[in-house]
Chain A
Amino acid sequence: MVARGLLTFKTTPSIVATGVTAGPLEKKSQFVDKFDKIYEDERCEAKTNEHGHAKMMEDACMIALSKVDSVPSDADFMLIGDLINQMTPSNFAAATVGIPYIGLFSACATSVSSLLMAALLTETGMSKCAIAGASSQHNAVERQFRYPNEYGAQKPETAQWTVTAAGVAAVTPYKKGFPSIECGTIGCVIDLGMTDPLNMGAAMAPAAADTLTRHLTGHNKDVKDYDVIMTGDLGKTGFELYKKLAGNQGIDVTKNFRDAGKEFYGADPSFLSGASGAGCSAAIFLTEVIDKMRAGDYKRVLLIATGALLSPLSFQQGDTIPCIAHAIELTMK
C-alpha cells in the first residue's frame, strides 16, 4: 500500500485547553462530571434549536480560551463545523466570537479533521493559537435528517441518538505538560453499499477499519504502541463490525479498543445502539481522553472519528451512505 494521506507533525502542536458544553439530556452520560457546562434548557434559552446550537459552540470556545487566560482576539484561527445545512450554527458562532474562521465539514468526523487542520496551521508557524472543534444538537439534527422530533416512529436497535454537545480545543505550538499532536491520517471515503440511515454504525465501520489499517501501516505502528484506540461514534453494532473488520486484517482487537458513541450514555437501553453526532466524539475525546492523558494514565492514544456523509436528499433518492474516518495520534511526553 502506498502511504497516502499521512500527516506527521515535527513540531508536535499541543492541545492546551478544551471546552465542552452539553445539553440537559447529557446528564445521563457517564462522563457528565467532566463536561465544563451543562445547560438546563434544550435550546440553551435561545429562541430556536439552531440558535441554541450556535450558543453552545460559542460558550465552548469561550471556556476553552478562558482556561488559557485568553480572549477571542488572541486566537488566530477558528476551525469548527457541525451537521446542519450550510453549517449555520458554526457560522453564527464564528460571527459572534469574531475569530478568523473556516467552516469544516466531515460529518461526525469533524472533531478530528478540525484538530488536524489546526495542527497543520500551527506546524507552518502561522498560528499561535487555533480553535478546533465540532458540535451537534439533537433536535436540530434529528429534524433535518429524520422526522420531526415529536413524531412517533419506532427506531430499531441499531439506531443511534444524536447528542447535544459541543467540544472545542485550543491548539498552540508545543508546550510541555500538555497532550501533543504527533501525526494523523486523512481518511478515504469508503462506501460499501449500506443504505439504512438507522444503522449508521454499520455504514461507518468499514471507513474506521480502513483508516486504522492505513494509519498503522503508514506510520509503522502497532496496536500495542497505544494505550487506547478510540473511535468516535460507531455505536454498539458498528463497533462490533469495526472490530471484526480490523480483526480480519490481522489486528489484535481484544485490548485497548474503545468507542465514544457506545460509552457515551453507558448501558442505557433507551439510547439503543449508543450516541452519535459530531458533538459525541468531540466531547469524549476532549474530556475523557485528554484528562486521562494529562493525569498520566494514557501516554499515547489514537483517535479515529467517523462520519457518515449523507444528506436527507441523498438517502431519499436511494443513494448509499458514503463514510469517512480521520485519525489523529496524541502523545504525552
Chain B
Amino acid sequence: MDEKKYAKLEKEISPKRPLMRNIIFAFLTGGTICLVGQFVSLFYMTYFDFTQQTASNPTVATMIFFAMLLTGFGLYKKIAQFGGAGSAVPITGFGNAVISAAIEHKTEGYVLGVGGNMFKLAGSVILFGVFSAFIVALIKTILVKFGVVSW
C-alpha cells in the first residue's frame, strides 16, 4: 500500500469535519460573547463617565477578566470545543491563550516559567497583529498622499 492510496482510504474512513455545524456554533458562541461584551460596555456607559469610544478599554479588560475566570475553572476549553472559532476570535480567546500558558508554566517558576512562556501562543498574534497594522497603515498613507482616499 503506497502513501497516496492510503491517504485516499484515510479520507474515506475518517469522519468529515461538520462544516455547517461548526459555522453555526461558532456564530452562536461568538455572538453570545459579543452580546455579553455589549452589556458590559453599556454598563460602563450608563454608570460611569465613559463614552461609547472610551468604554472599549474597560470593556476589553473586563472581558479578559471573565476569560481568566472561565479558563481557571476549566470551562473555557469546553466552550471552545463547542464553539470553535467563535470563542477563539474575540478578545476572550486571546486572553485564554495567554492565561492558559501562564497557568501551565507556573510549575517552572514565575520568571522563567510564567514570564518566559506566557506569550508562547499569543506572541505570534501580537507580532503579526502589529505587523499587519503597519502594512495597512503604510498602504493607507500612500493612498492618501496620492489623493485616492482621505483620512
The reply to whether A and B meet directly (CB within 8 Å) is yes
A residues near B, CB below 8 A? 47-49, 143, 147-158, 192-194, 199, 202, 206, 237, 240-241, 244-245, 248, 270
Closest chain B residue to A152, Cβ basis:
B80
A147-B76 in contact (CB<8A): no
With A48-B107, A150-B100, A193-B3 known as contacts, the answer to whether A237 contacts B80 (CB < 8 A) is: no
Known: A150-B100, A154-B88. 18 other contacts (CB 8 A): A48-B107, A143-B104, A148-B101, A150-B71, A150-B99, A152-B71, A152-B76, A152-B88, A152-B93, A153-B88, A154-B84, A156-B15, A193-B6, A194-B10, A202-B13, A237-B14, A237-B15, A245-B9
List B residues 1-47 near A (Cβ within 8 Å). Answer: 1-3, 6-7, 9-10, 13-15, 17, 22
Closest chain A residue to B4, Cβ basis:
A193
Partner of A148, one of B17, B72, B104: B104
List B residues 87-115 near A (Cβ within 8 Å). Answer: 87-88, 93, 96-97, 99-101, 103-105, 107
With A151-B101, A192-B3 known as contacts, the answer to whether A241 contacts B80 (CB < 8 A) is: no
CA distance A156 to B81 in the complex (A): 9
A329 → chain B closest CB, angstroms:
25
With A148-B103, A237-B15, A241-B9 known as contacts, the answer to whether A153 contacts B80 (CB < 8 A) is: yes
CA distance A158 to B104 in the complex (A): 25
* Contact residues in A for B93 (Cβ distance below 8 Å): 152
B140 proximal to A (CB < 8 A): no
Closest chain A residue to B88, Cβ basis:
A152
Interface centre among A143, A151, A155, A248 (most CB of B within 10 A): A151
Interface centre among B10, B76, B88, B107 (most CB of A within 10 A): B10
Count of A-B contacts with CB under 8 A?
Answer: 94
Partner of B97, one of A48, A151, A194, A245: A151
Interface size counted on chain B using CB atoms at 8 A: 37
B55 proximal to A (CB < 8 A): no
A150-B74 in contact (CB<8A): yes
With A150-B77, A150-B96 known as contacts, the answer to whether A244 contacts B9 (CB < 8 A) is: yes
A152-B10 in contact (CB<8A): no
B13-A240 in contact (CB<8A): yes
A203 → chain B closest CB, angstroms:
9
B53 → chain A closest CB, angstroms:
29
A150-B103 in contact (CB<8A): yes
CA distance A18 to B1 in the complex (A): 38
* Contact residues in A for B85 (Cβ distance below 8 Å): 154
* Contact residues in B for A206 (Cβ distance below 8 Å): 1, 6
Chain B contact residues: over half helix, strand or loop, or mixed?
Answer: helix
B121 proximal to A (CB < 8 A): yes
B79 proximal to A (CB < 8 A): yes
Chain A contact residues: over half helix, strand or loop, or mixed?
Answer: loop
A147-B13 in contact (CB<8A): no
* Contact residues in B for A154 (Cβ distance below 8 Å): 22, 80-81, 83-85, 88
With A47-B107, A149-B100, A152-B88 known as contacts, the answer to whether A199 contacts B14 (CB < 8 A) is: yes
Partner of A202, one of B14, B71, B79: B14
CA distance A192 to B3 in the complex (A): 5
A23 → chain B closest CB, angstroms:
14
* Contact residues in B for A244 (Cβ distance below 8 Å): 9, 13
A245-B14 in contact (CB<8A): no
B15-A147 in contact (CB<8A): no
Interface centre among B3, B6, B71, B74 (most CB of A within 10 A): B6
CA distance A246 to B105 in the complex (A): 43
With A158-B15, A202-B14, A241-B13 known as contacts, the answer to whether A151 contacts B6 (CB < 8 A) is: no
CA distance A158 to B10 in the complex (A): 11
CA distance A211 to B17 in the complex (A): 30
CA distance A147 to B71 in the complex (A): 14
CA distance A156 to B18 in the complex (A): 9
With A154-B81, A155-B81, A237-B13 known as contacts, the answer to whether A193 contacts B7 (CB < 8 A) is: yes
A325 → chain B closest CB, angstroms:
15
A327 → chain B closest CB, angstroms:
19
A308 → chain B closest CB, angstroms:
14
CA distance A100 to B54 in the complex (A): 67
B9-A147 in contact (CB<8A): no
* Contact residues in A for B74 (Cβ distance below 8 Å): 150
Interface centre among B7, B14, B15, B121 (most CB of A within 10 A): B14
CA distance A149 to B22 in the complex (A): 22
